[in-house]
Structure formats: structure tokens, C-alpha cells
Amino acid sequence: MGKGSVVNVQYPARERLANLPTPLQPLLKITEQFSRPYGGPKIWIKRDDLTESAMSGNKLRKLEFIIAEARARGCNTLITCGGEQSNHCRATALAAAKAGLQAHLILRKSSNNPPDASEVPDGNLLVDYLAGAEVSLYPLREYLDRLPQLFEHWAGFYQQRGDRALCIPTGGSDGLGIWGYLLATEELLEDCKSAGFHPDAVVCASGSGGTQAGLTLGVALCESRARVTGYAVCDDSEYFVNKVAADVKDWAERYGQSFDIDKSRIHVIDDYIGPGYGIATEEIYQTIALAAQLEGILLDPVYTGKAFHGLLQDIQRGHYRGCENLVFVHTGGQFGVFPQRTGFQKSWSAG
Ligand SMILES: *Cc1c(COP(=O)(O)O)cnc(C)c1O
């Protein structure tokens, strides 16, 4: 990739981990039943849930550049952070194992209760342990108050042991991780071209903003007319506009690019967060069941299910009129379905 593309930047080193390109597929039944009757677009799905099996999801694209950077800096350890069911931490744990690096995960419990050794790990957390990652679980409050100190503490711990750690921010989202979705944008536009169209809209879930930042930067550099919209799953629109702009700025500074993003090109919808991060509602569970039943696609209750639900609502409200082809980026998250198994009980017969 890169060659023959319109993006005229020199990509940094990349460690191949993901199976690329991921497929681009039309969602025919959902388009017919839930978009066309409202004057909405043909919906396509970019299957970044298929970047790998256990390591699957959007974080793997960022990790390709992050792990190459860790090697370049002579690091043998990756320290990163996230929620107890973080997909990013799970992908990091497995990618580190494959690359022969240690992983240390600073994880946030969803409550202020101290970690309980009798709790059986589930979903992503179970995989973290299987991958041999060091896991430090913190009560919610302590994590929120002390995250920078926790990174400092563990980086110091490894330094004292004679190791060298690379600290990766939440979601791998910064000026380094953004390369993953810059490359992905080129891939996506190429896919669309092969399928005979240019996308009018590209939609993703936004959690730490890096995926949206890469896509937004990517379409700008490729001079594509596609409008990138992030559906927020935690913080509000203002937060994400600033975060996306900050990631792009960090990228420009680190890599000597004179690019400055226009904030009016950063589109965030924060109407579908619901009760909070990681908390889904009955409609979200039903949309997940619907996508599984109509298209054989598994969305997750934390990110993609929320974003896709929001997208269908907005299509029905007419917000995507005039848009012919829309690409929804399926960013992964399958392991997050299982810890929320009780939420799906009423959803079997949806659709
Ligand atoms: C992390 C994640 C996102 C959000 O991506 P960001 O780059 O953090 O905004 C979306 N979907 C899934 C499944 C994720 O794990």
C-alpha cells in the first residue's frame, strides 16, 4: 500500500499483524428494509472485525505501527490501559505475545469495589490472562484519578528491572496509532473504487477517537468527498472534535507534516451514548440481534452496536438523504458480547 495512492506521505515502519485488505460487503437486507424506505443510502460494511481472529478489530491496525515503533526504540514491554473489557488491551496482549514482547495492562473496573479474586474472568479479560499479560485491575475512582501516575509507576517498575517499556495511550489513539487508519482509509477508498463507487459517507464508532482521526485525516489527504462521522460511545461531541484534532496535530508535529485539520470537517454524533460507556439498552441489544439475523454479522454492545443503532435511527430521520453509498466500519468487539449475555434475553426474536 502507499504506492500509487494519493496520500503523499512516507509511512513509518509497520509490523504486519492484520490480514489486509479486509472485505467490503454490502448489507443488502438491512439496506432494503431499514434504509431505502426512508430515502437512505446503500449501506456497506468494511469488515475490520476480520483483521484477525483473536486479535481482531480496529486496534490491530494501530498496533502494527505501535509495535514497529516499540522495536525501533528498543522496548521489550508494552504498557497500556483501558476498561476491564477493553478490546484494545486484549489485542495488545495477543500482539505483544506474538511479537515476543511483554504486555502490562492497567485496567479500570466498572465499579469502585476492589478487585475480587473470586470473580471468573470473562470476554476480553479472559483472553488477556490467556495471552500471558500482566494485569493490574484498579477500582474506577482510583483509575480515573491516578492514570498518569499508574503509567509512571509501571514504567518505572520495568525500568528498574532493566526492561524498557513503551507506554501506549487509551485505545492506541495518538499521532502514532493514527497511521493505522490512514492506511485503512486508502484501503477503503480502493475497495469502493473496485466495487464501482465513491463513498459519500464513512461511519464508525468513536471511543478514544483514533479511528475517526485516521479516517478524517485520510479522506482529507486523499481529497475524497466522503464525510466521516463518528458515533460517540462515551464522551460528548465537543470532546471528540477536540480529541480528533489533537491526534491529527500530534501526527503532524511528530512527522513534520504541515497539515492542519479544519474542525468543521470533524463530525460527531453524541445522541446515542445511552446511560454511559459500556452500558447498552434494549434497542441496542435488538439491533445487534437484527444484524446477526439478517446479515450474519455480529456487532457488540459497547461500540459497533451503539454506533450502528444510531446510524439506522439517523437514516430513518432523514439525516442521510442525498447520500448514495455509505460505508460503516465494523471495528470488531465480538468478545464484548459475552460478558453482557443477560442483556440479550429478550432479543432472540427481533427482526
Ligand atoms: C476501540 C474500539 C472502537 C473505537 O475506536 P477508537 O479508535 O478508540 O475511537 C470501536 N469499536 C471497537 C470494537 C473498539 O474496540
The mean pLDDT value for 65-84 works out to: 98
Q: Is residue 346's pLDDT more than 90?
A: no
The mean pLDDT value for 182-195 works out to: 98
Give 120's DSSP letter: P
Which segments of the chain belong to CATH 3.40.50.1100? 24-56+176-344, 59-172
Q: Kindly report the average pLDDT of the chain as a whole number.
A: 96
Q: What is the pLDDT of residue 6?
A: 54
Q: What is the pLDDT of residue 8?
A: 78
Q: Are 269 and 229 in contact (CB under 8 A)?
A: yes
Q: What is the pLDDT of residue 351?
A: 47
Ligand 1 pocket, residue 209 CB under 6 Å:
yes
More confident site: 291 or 346:
291
Q: Which one from 86, 173, 206, 224 is the annotated catalytic residue?
A: 86
Q: pLDDT tier at 248 (50, 70, 90 boundaries)?
A: very high
91-112 pLDDT, tens digit each: 999 999 999 999 999 999 999 9
| Ligand 1 atom nearest to 211, measured from its CA | 7
Q: Which CATH class is domain 24-56+176-344?
A: alpha beta
Q: What is the pLDDT of residue 2?
A: 43
Cα(329) to centroid(ligand 1), Å = 10
Q: Are 143 and 114 in contact (CB under 8 A)?
A: no
29-43 pLDDT, tens digit each: 999 999 999 999 999
Q: Are 97 and 132 in contact (CB under 8 A)?
A: yes
In this prediction the pTM is 0.97
pLDDT above 90 covers a percentage of the chain that reads 93
282-330 pLDDT, tens digit each: 999 999 999 999 999 999 999 999 999 999 999 999 999 999 999 999 9
Cα(174) to centroid(ligand 1), Å = 13
Give the CB-side neighbour count of residue 337, counting CA atoms within 13 A: 18
Give Cα separations from 180 to 60, 251, 303, 305 (angstroms).
8, 12, 18, 22
61 contacts: CB under 8 Å, gap ≥ 6: 18, 48, 51, 180, 181, 183, 184
86 is catalytic: yes
| Ligand 1 atom nearest to 230, measured from its CA | 9
Q: Is residue 5's pLDDT more than 80?
A: no
| Ligand 1 atom nearest to 173, measured from its CA | 7
15-32 pLDDT, tens digit each: 999 999 999 999 999 999
Cα(86) to centroid(ligand 1), Å = 9
Q: Which helix (H) or strand (E) holds 240?
A: helix 237-254
Question: Maximum CA pair distance of the chain?
Answer: 63
Q: Which helix (H) or strand (E) holds 281?
A: none
Sign for the pseudo-dihedral over CA of 60, 45, 82, 137: negative
8 phi, psi to nearest 5 deg:
-100, 60
Q: Which CATH class is domain 59-172?
A: alpha beta
Ligand 1 pocket, residue 336 CB under 6 Å:
no
C-alpha cell at 39: 430515502
Ligand 1 pocket, residue 169 CB under 6 Å:
no
Dist CA 52 CA 141 (whole Å)? 34
The mean pLDDT value for 162-176 works out to: 98
